[in-house]
Structure 1
Amino acid sequence: MEIAGILERISDKNLRYIGEKVLKGVRLSPEDALYMFSSHELTFIGALAEYVNRKKNGMFAYFIINRQINPTNVCVYQCNFCAFGVTKSDQRAYEMSLEDILKKVGEIYAQGGKEVHMVGGIPPHWKVEDYVRLVREIKKAFPQITVKAWTAIEIHHMSKISGRSYEDILKELKDAGLEVIPGGGAEIFSERVRKIIAPYKANAKEYLEVHRTAHKLGIPTNATMLYGHIETYEDRVDHMLKLRELQDETGGFQVFIPLAYWPEGTKLGGNRTSSVDDLKTLAISRLFLDNFEHIKAYWVTLGEKVAQIALNFGADDLDGTIQEEKIVHSAGTKSAYGHSKDRLIKLIRNAGKIPVERDTFYRPVCIYS
């Protein structure tokens, strides 16, 4: 990409300085990221982000054949930003049986699936053994499937109800077959905001400590940020800075996933943020998180059209087929519940990128050149 020529035409001295730092490979400061959030030069910021992305990933854009499973929506935390979790007495409450879960894993395995992504509510009646058993039974029935399960919030909850350490819990889950931890539950690290949107779940320090412990045990993890609710740009930058610092320390994060907030059915309410904000947030995350190899444009929260554009704004991954996502759909997203492999390939090709089917660890399975 010819960034130098674009740089010469930018009249904003601060943006030009940021662009020069990017071209020289100099790490951006929090002040740089904050300035970009306040800028209206979306195209330039996107071009910078895509320049960095192509240096890391070339023209490849990734997807995976996977299935998300949400075993239950019963949850003790009842966060104000969430429309998914309910009490056990709620008429919408459900809890899947082990047989139903294994049937769903079997369906995606038959389609060449590589991963099951399992997260859900946190029921008051579940013990640590219940979380471990699900992982063990899936891995026993389908040893070739990678089990990506239980966010840092669930790990923290297991530790709290059992009195055991994060390390002890994670070792047991790893022995049962857990291979990767998803990034959910990060929300936004600002304690001021967290007290309003999710006052009872693990705080930022606890979330990061779970991930630090997982990395120490050789368990890679993903990272997320929920944006577009009541947080400020400063909160977003501080959130990414904390993730960048932990990545400097451990190198255990695989991918960063900005998650757009959907307000329908939540106590928090509010409005959906703009597509411009979506693209800007993705692009700035690509520029600021220089030690992350991958940035995901999660089509479930973005919608497939914005996610497709994001593949030219610094993102290199669309996630996967998913099949049956319930958490974001309960809050009003209009995206499909799942996509076919062919649909994802078409989305990527139409964005001008080369589709790459990957496994959970971003190893290529098939390149569709």
Structure 2
Amino acid sequence: MSHIDSILDKAIKGKRLSMEDGIALFASNEVEKIGHAADQVMKRFHPDPVATFVIGRNVNYTNVCDVYCRFCAFYRGPDSDEGYVLPNEVIYEKIQELVDVGGTELLMQGGVNPNLPFSYYLELLKEIKNRFDIHVHSFSTVEIRKMKELSGLATYEEVFAELKKAGLDSLPGAGAEMLVDRIRNKISRLKGSWQEWIDIMKAAHRAELHTTATMVIGFGETMEERVLHLMRIRDAQDEVIQQKLNTPGFLAFIIWTFQPDNTNLKAEKVSNEEYLKTLAISRLMLDNIPNFQASWVTLGPEIGKKSLSYGCNDFGSTMLEENVVSAAACTHKVNIELILKLIREAGKVPALRNTRYDILKTYQPDDGVEKDFILQN
């Protein structure tokens, strides 16, 4: 048995992979073999041949930001004439459109706007919950950091307690990028250390909010740094389990690829094969996170479909609206009919879920869908 085969066998048998194992897998060119092992590990979590998706909408409520990430084409500085804050009524209209098409997940994120007081978020969340039955899966760690700064509250736990009381249901994994300070300092010196991202996520878990974890590849990171990122997420999830917190912690993991177009940080785009390889290795390393989402937004629906054979059990969000990735000249449009088609072509049964991964509906081959409903605009 080769060294790679022994590592993959260990993962398939449910044994934890080490830093050295992860590095060896990244050094290997046996991508399909690694992908097959990741698919087997996925089936340990999800033995039924089902692939899920959620109908959600991104609402980018402001593009004003004082973090100035070099890889972001979306933000505008606090003094820019192109900066905006959406009127609340516009936000409500967008949510109503989501509800009208059966959507259940609101992903509300913006720039880190220094001009919005903490009360803005609390009042907005309360009004959203008064008007809609919707899961608010919103904000990022850097937005939470700004809220703490402006609120005067002493701890992140206090910030989350107020947000949760107002209507926040869960926290996305945005802002992780690469949990290595060498890379974080390269892409944005104001975004905070990897430890700060982890600390804010841990505070969310202690506040009994579930979260997701993410990784963005393509910043010039080493393979060792990718493995280190995965191990830091795995360690934080171990704490949720060991402390028996009343939350699943990181409920899902998502990999994005850096899109350099229209940004101040130039780099070569990550190949589809490199994305699939990283995805599969992540599924093998992260033995304590149940769900993996495909990244069709940056790589397109066909790679999203292939991801379902490389460790993913979920096609992700339909994203009725998305402005951040598309600002980097990367826009892929998918409708429900195409999602069902792609999942079926991958040999899976499509199922609609909510943000907690509860299945709401399983689609049979003869299910009718709205053919002209565009899920991203």
TM-score by length of 1: 0.93
Identity of aligned residues (%): 38
Q: C-alpha distance in 2, partners of 1:133/1:91?
A: 26
Matches within 5 A, 1:148-163: 148-163=137-152
Q: 2:342 matched to which residue of 1? A: 347
Tell me, yes or no, if the aligned pair for 1:73 and 1:85 is still in contact at 8 Å: yes
Residue 327 of structure 2 is aligned to residue 330 of structure 1:
yes
Runs of 4 or more off by more than 3 Å in structure 1? 88-92
Q: 1:246 matched to which residue of 2? A: 236
- 1:113: how far off? 1.0
Q: 2:375 matched to which residue of 1? A: none
- 1:207: how far off? 1.0
Structure 2 vs 1, CA of residues 234 and 254 (structure 1 numbering), >3 Å: closer, same or farther? same
Residue 166 of structure 2 is aligned to residue 171 of structure 1:
no
Of 258, 269, 276, 1:261 maps to 258
Match of 2:305, SS state, is helix
Match of 1:178, SS state, is coil
Deviations 1:38-73 (A, max 9, x none): 111011000000011112113111101111111111
- Deviation larger for 133-142 or 322-331: 133-142
Q: 2:304 matched to which residue of 1? A: 307
Residue 213 of structure 2 is aligned to residue 216 of structure 1:
no
Aligned residues between the structures: 355
Q: CA RMSD in A?
A: 1.3
Residue 42 of structure 2 is aligned to residue 47 of structure 1:
no
Q: C-alpha distance in 2, partners of 1:42/1:52?
A: 15
Tell me, yes or no, if the aligned pair for 1:156 and 1:202 is still in contact at 8 Å: no
Q: C-alpha distance in 1, partners of 2:330/2:337?
A: 22
Q: 2:177 matched to which residue of 1? A: 187
5+ long unaligned stretches in structure 1: 1-7
5+ long unaligned stretches in structure 2: 242-248, 365-377
Query: Residue type matched to 1:317 in 2?
Result: D
Q: 1:120 matched to which residue of 2? A: 110
Q: 1:359 matched to which residue of 2? A: 354
- 1:91: how far off? 4.5
Q: C-alpha distance in 1, partners of 2:105/2:219?
A: 30
- 1:342: how far off? 2.4
Query: Residue type matched to 2:135 in 1?
Result: T
Tell me, yes or no, if the aligned pair for 1:156 and 1:206 is still in contact at 8 Å: no
Q: 1:19 matched to which residue of 2? A: 8
Deviations 1:219-244 (A, max 9, x none): 00011111112211111111110000
Tell me, yes or no, if the aligned pair for 1:69 and 1:118 is still in contact at 8 Å: yes
Deviations 1:84-130 (A, max 9, x none): 11114434422211000000000110111111111111112111111
Q: C-alpha distance in 2, partners of 1:341/1:98?
A: 28
Q: C-alpha distance in 2, partners of 1:241/1:27?
A: 11
